[in-house]
Amino acid sequence: MLLLLAATAAGATDFDKARQMNLPLGTNSYPDEIRHYLAAADDAIARHDYTALAKLLREPGSTPRMMAGLDWGQGNMMMGSSVVVPALYAEQLWSIGSTAPADSPYAALKDTAAMVMLYTLSVIATDGPQCADKSAPASHFNHIVSRLAPLLRGLTRLPAAKKQEIVHAAMAVEAKTAPMRGQDDYLCRMDSADPKFMAEQDWRPQQAEIRDRLQAMLTGLLDRDPGQPGDRR
């Protein structure tokens, strides 16, 4: 797996904060063309233009831009950015890892993709109670399960010990980013509607309950065929 460093402080998704946290986004020195590309990604998420963000990350162009996009995904994920970031990051990792030759170091990105996917689903589950429209997080959850079905299918075939290793890693990252995650416009919004959020005293108890059974939820997801219907929790 790629090293996913523990986040130690809250803050905006910028180069200075990433550098303070020793994340690749802040430690790599990028040429201007790539910095403009990453700035466009920052701008898209700041404007809540998730269509533009997905296009940038799914169609990066050159290999240097693709690798910088991975840095951007990892850095922003570890800084508690919107759940759309790890969702797209998991896609990027899977796209690279699943097409790499077995003896390529890039093949290991499949393991990282698995952890990031489970992290993404964990965040949707634990932060979903903040949303007034409960159909929004449910829709995002099901969309990710569907879009990354080949990855999930591969996970269901792993030995139980390996499954639990990935589950525990995803839960550890969720716990570390939880203090930095705020109200997520993407998670709680369907189409172009403005999202509404629940009062904290209402969603906090629900979140605690879900987090108590998070391991069972993720393990159950890995123990069934992703094509089968099933409750997301």
Count of CB atoms within 10 A of residue 104's CB? Answer: 12
Q: Examine the pLDDT at 82 and tell me if it is beyond 70.
A: yes
DSSP string for residues in 123-157: HHHHHGGGBS-THHHHHHHHHHHHHTHHHHHHHHT
Q: Examine the pLDDT at 28 and tell me if it is beyond 70.
A: no
Element containing residue 25 per DSSP (H, E): helix 24-27
DSSP string for residues in 177-222: HGGG----TTTT--TTPPP-B--HHHHHHHHHHHHHTHHHHHHHHH
Whole-angstrom CA distances from 205 to 126, 171, 211 are 11, 19, 10
Q: Examine the pLDDT at 3 and tell me if it is beyond 90.
A: no
∠ CA 228-83-130 to the nearest 5 degrees? 90
Q: What confidence tens digit (pLDDT) does each residue in 135-182 have? A: 999 999 999 999 999 999 999 999 999 999 999 999 999 999 999 999
3-state DSSP assignment of residue 8 = coil
Predicted local distance difference test score (pLDDT) of residue 27: 60
Cα dihedral 121, 73, 54, 164 in deg (nearest 10):
-20
Q: Examine the pLDDT at 87 and tell me if it is beyond 70.
A: yes
Average pLDDT over all residues of the chain = 86
Q: What confidence tens digit (pLDDT) does each residue in 29-52 have? A: 788 899 899 999 999 999 999 999
